[in-house]
Amino acid sequence: MALVVQKYGGSSVADADGIKRVARRIAATKRAGHDVAVVVSAMGDTTDELIELAEQVSPMPPARELDMLLTSGERISMAVLAMAISNLGLEARSFTGSQAGVITDSAHGRARIIDVTPGRIRTALDEGAVAIVAGFQGVSQDTKDITTLGRGGSDTTAVALAAALKADVCEIYTDVDGVFTADPRIVPTARKISRIGSEDMLEMAACGAKILMLRCVEYARNYDLPIHVRSSFSPHEGTWVTDKPIPASLSSDRGESPVEQPIISGVAHDRSEAKITVVSVPNNPGTAAKIFRAVAEAEINIDMIVQNDSVGASGSADISFTLPKTEAQTAVTALEKIKDVIGFERLEFDDQIGKLSLVGVGMRSHPGVSALFFEALGEKKINMEMISTSEIRISVVTRADQLDDAVRAVHTAFGLDAEAEAVVYGGTGR
Amino acid sequence: MALVVQKYGGSSVADADGIKRVARRIAATKRAGHDVAVVVSAMGDTTDELIELAEQVSPMPPARELDMLLTSGERISMAVLAMAISNLGLEARSFTGSQAGVITDSAHGRARIIDVTPGRIRTALDEGAVAIVAGFQGVSQDTKDITTLGRGGSDTTAVALAAALKADVCEIYTDVDGVFTADPRIVPTARKISRIGSEDMLEMAACGAKILMLRCVEYARNYDLPIHVRSSFSPHEGTWVTDKPIPASLSSDRGESPVEQPIISGVAHDRSEAKITVVSVPNNPGTAAKIFRAVAEAEINIDMIVQNDSVGASGSADISFTLPKTEAQTAVTALEKIKDVIGFERLEFDDQIGKLSLVGVGMRSHPGVSALFFEALGEKKINMEMISTSEIRISVVTRADQLDDAVRAVHTAFGLDAEAEAVVYGGTGR
């Protein structure tokens, strides 16, 4: 008997039928002899509808009240899910984030979990009930106000709760079959990955694979917690994210012999970044530091940095960096303010870029990966504007309209293509 | 400067426009220099929609989960109302029943308030914010589960919160102008009562006047708290329910000289009751006690009781009593079980009755009230099936289809008719 935490996203509980399907799935797990705690997102479009309602009364709703409003979405889905489970003859009790002991900081709309004290969840499980917990929400340690965790928050709730309960696995149910070697909407021959190590998953998530949020993978890795990403619409197993043996009681396909780590886990891509180039920066020591200090003080996370040493008479260079498109305006404003102090010529802004990353811990011990990678892009005449590498990853920036071709070329070059095409579902939950 | 608690029902906050109108009203009160705490119900049809959703997944949803579900309704309305107030340049903070310190027993769906510990509300008011509190909900003392208070629960929340805060008034905003001398839908010439004593209001509520729930009036009376029932759709003052002078800062119409108590406050009616007659009960001492013990053990509240001493050879009598229609089936079942023990002949059930009550503390010192009352009904050939009186009330049971005529006849006979007809609005909030 294992302790299983299951997370269901909004698309899995979009309507009463979806909730009943999920309830049957939970009941089956419980009847197989496991203890089950469930984390659930708001139903389908609930969150969007609530935001629309807020906009009708206020163009800039206070963050505290927006959190109070949005958290009603999970309150609805969790209570209805508990009812549907009860209707199958099992006891189920729902708990808000606050009741489940999800303690966060006070950053409304993007709160971070500080601690999880799941005393009431443990009691419910010990008494034989299925515990249903509202995803995406918590209560702030200082002010006792209701908070939300921001994008991907329900996954984080599930992983944090599973870690606190010392669960055997955190199952993330979604509308796709698992983690793929590339996005199947771009690469129809992408393969579902049966198993991936936490380090590779971390890089995939960091590089734009949207199926698991970065901080959720980080959390699971820190607590050595296996994640099983799978579809709520199919009975098949999905992708296990773990460095440990897979518990036999939770997997019918495998679990005995650890498979050999492949060289490459997958190809991730990201269209959410933009590039800013600071043109003609005087070549003095400390100038680059001043630029990135200004950006950091605006609380902007930058990704890749490249300095082109131009050999002009002026003794100056161009510095380019990438950052989330949503933060570009803030960065430009911050840099314009120090233009005269630094003495650069101008700023160039480019949001027509794409980023491609090849990820695999196996590449550490396999020289020649970079060469094959660059050859694959070169053959397709794809220009690499920026390059960044780590021990287990190669990332390049291309023109946005060449990104899909680039992903397909690299996927094929590293032998990742499957014989059949993957099945693709639409949408993602929060 | 006074401390004002305002309660807005679901029809007052039915949509974004309604919420904005209510926000302006709250802002005006705050800007007049008062401290304002607001209790709000769920928006319009939200509760019905949530119940419908529950029914889609379970025919008999567990009460705990139904409470969890329904309380999301106030969470939505209070957060959006707080946003609308913020948008007017005032600070507003919303609080769930639990956060506001509304402690109840564990009777899900019909919980009773045990205590209110409004520390967070007091702090918000002291810091100059408008405090918005979810009506209809609390948290159970024993299990820390979310509870709902049942019908009229938001009014009870408002009164209990006002009492705990030692507020100067609890304003109950609704969709009618106040308490009337009779239901204006039946008596178009009914007059709005400017002021009514708590004892009369208690009797009116107990006898079917739906504008304030009985337990809400009881609560206010116990804490000597003035209630002001008024319309959220009009600027006019409504009905003050209090035995004290009306605070001058909260009333523009009056407040200096207490008006003389009228003989009659109003006419209430009730269609929600049924009559059960136990036919041919043996005339032994203790038999009636056994009958009502059985009914009491089924947790049924009975209202009027009449025993007809028939002078038959059998030495038996008929005992009739009235009770809420919704509880009639339970009572019949309980009585059928003791039929042989008691030795009565049969049960008769009648749900085609109506109850009319004339209420007024003034009738204590005015003999002749009963005579005038019976004459008014006699002239209209209305048969009185049961009669019950107290010092300040006369109630009779009539045929249901004669009730409206009876209400009009008594209203006219006691000189309560106004010259103009009252304006009637539809619907009621929870």
A84 has a chain B CB within 8 A of its CB: yes
DSSP A224-271: T--EEEEETT-SS--EEE-SSPPPGGG-SS--SSPPPPPS--EEEEE-
- Helix (H) / strand (E) containing B418: none
B50 has a chain A CB within 8 A of its CB: yes
- Helix (H) / strand (E) containing B224: none
pLDDT reported for residue B254? 52
Q: Which residue of A72, A120, A121 to mutate against B (max B Cβ within 10 Å)? A: A72
* A272: its two tokens: 């959410």
Q: Is the pLDDT of residue A2 over 90?
A: yes
End-to-end CA, chain A: 30
Q: Which of A57, A66, A94 sits opposite B87 (nearest CB)?
A: A57
- Quick one: DSSP state of residue B80? H
Percent of chain A with pLDDT over 90: 72
Per-residue pLDDT band for B428 (boundaries 50, 70, 90) equals: very low
- Per the listing, tokens 């009463």 go with A16
**CA-nearest residue of chain A to B23?**
A57
B418 has a chain A CB within 8 A of its CB: no
Q: What's the pLDDT tens digit per position in A214-239?
A: 889 999 999 999 999 999 888 899 99
Q: Which residues of A touch B59 (CB under 8 A)?
A: 87
End-to-end CA, chain B: 30
DSSP B389-410: EETTEEEEEEEGGGHHHHHHHH
**CA-nearest residue of chain A to B59?**
A87
DSSP B4-40: EEEEE-TTTTSSHHHHHHHHHHHHHHHHTT-EEEEEE
Min Cα separation A66/chain B (Å): 7
Of the candidates A110, A196, A199, A211, the residue with the CA atom closest to the CA atom of residue A155 = A211
* A323: its two tokens: 């950052």
| This prediction's pTM | 0.85
Q: Residues with Cβ < 8 Å from A311, sequence gap 6 or more?
A: none
Q: Which residues of A touch B66 (CB under 8 A)?
A: 79, 83
Mean pLDDT of A412-416: 93
Percent of chain B with pLDDT over 90: 72
Question: What SS3 state is found at A300?
Answer: coil
ipTM of the prediction: 0.82
Q: Is the pLDDT of residue B212 over 50?
A: yes
pLDDT reported for residue B390? 87
Q: What's the pLDDT tens digit per position in A305-346?
A: 888 766 555 678 889 999 999 999 999 999 999 999 999 999
Min Cα separation B149/chain A (Å): 18
Q: Which residue of B43, B71, B80, B121 to mutate against A (max A Cβ within 10 Å)? A: B80
Query: Which residue segments constitute the domains of chain A, with CATH numbers given?
Result: 3-257 (3.40.1160.10), 275-350 (3.30.70.260)
DSSP B345-391: -EEEEE--EEEEEEE-GGGGG-TTHHHHHHHHHHHTTPPPSEEEEET
Cα dihedral A35→A41→A44→A45 (10° resolution): 170
B75 has a chain A CB within 8 A of its CB: yes
CA–CA separation, A185 and B197 (whole Å):
72
Q: Which residues of B touch A79 (CB under 8 A)?
A: 54, 65-66, 68-69, 72
Min Cα separation B11/chain A (Å): 17
Of the candidates A430, A384, A407, A335, the residue with the CA atom closest to the CA atom of residue A186 = A407
Q: Which of B61, B80, B144 sits opposite A57 (nearest CB)?
A: B80
Per-residue pLDDT band for A378 (boundaries 50, 70, 90) equals: very high
B66 has a chain A CB within 8 A of its CB: yes
Q: Is the pLDDT of residue B260 over 90?
A: no
pLDDT reported for residue A317? 85
Q: Which residues of B touch A53 (CB under 8 A)?
A: 16, 76, 80
DSSP B91-128: -EEEE-TTTTTEEE-S-TTS--EEEE--HHHHHHHHTT
Min Cα separation B27/chain A (Å): 14
Q: Which residues of B touch A96 (CB under 8 A)?
A: 146
Which burial class, exposed, middle or buried, applies to A171 when counting CB atoms under 10 A from its CB (0-12, 13-18, 19+)?
Answer: buried
DSSP A6-45: EEE-TTTTSSHHHHHHHHHHHHHHHHTT-EEEEEE---TT
pLDDT reported for residue B253? 61
Min Cα separation B201/chain A (Å): 37
pLDDT reported for residue B145? 96
* A279: its two tokens: 């043109």
Interface A–B counts its CB contacts (< 8 A) at 116
Q: Is the pLDDT of residue B427 over 50?
A: no
Q: What's the pLDDT tens digit per position in B412-422?
A: 999 999 876 66
Q: Please, what is the average pLDDT of chain B?
A: 90
Q: Is the pLDDT of residue A62 over 50?
A: yes
Q: What's the pLDDT tens digit per position in B306-365?
A: 887 665 556 788 899 999 999 999 999 999 999 999 999 999 999 999 999 999 988 887
Specify whether the CB–CB gap between B163 and B225 falls below 8 A.
yes
Q: Which of B56, B69, B84 sits opposite A58 (nearest CB)?
A: B84
pLDDT reported for residue A430? 47
Q: How far is CA B379 from CA B41, B182, B329, B373, in A?
A: 45, 20, 36, 10
pLDDT reported for residue A315? 75
Mean pLDDT of A390-417: 94
* B384: its two tokens: 């009185």
Of the candidates B105, B100, B185, B164, the residue with the CA atom closest to the CA atom of residue B135 = B100
A248 has a chain B CB within 8 A of its CB: no
CB contact under 8 A, B75 and A76: no
CB contact under 8 A, B86 and A144: no
Q: Please, what is the average pLDDT of chain A?
A: 90
CB contact under 8 A, B65 and A76: no
Q: Which residues of B touch A61 (CB under 8 A)?
A: 83, 86-87
Mean pLDDT of A64-69: 97
Min Cα separation A7/chain B (Å): 19
CB contact under 8 A, B72 and A76: yes
Q: Which of residues 249-278 of A touch B (CB under 8 A)?
A: none
Percent of chain A with pLDDT over 70: 94
Q: Which of B19, B58, B83 sits opposite A86 (nearest CB)?
A: B58
Question: What SS3 state is found at A424?
Answer: coil
Min Cα separation A216/chain B (Å): 27
Per-residue pLDDT band for A422 (boundaries 50, 70, 90) equals: low
Q: What's the pLDDT tens digit per position in A110-161?
A: 999 999 999 999 999 999 999 999 999 999 999 999 999 987 899 999 999 9
What is chain B's length? Answer: 430
CB contact under 8 A, B86 and A56: no
Q: What's the pLDDT tens digit per position in A275-313?
A: 999 999 888 878 888 899 999 888 888 889 888 766 555
Mean pLDDT of B91-106: 97
A56 has a chain B CB within 8 A of its CB: yes
B57 has a chain A CB within 8 A of its CB: yes
Q: Is the pLDDT of residue B271 over 80?
A: yes
Min Cα separation B83/chain A (Å): 5
pLDDT reported for residue B430? 47
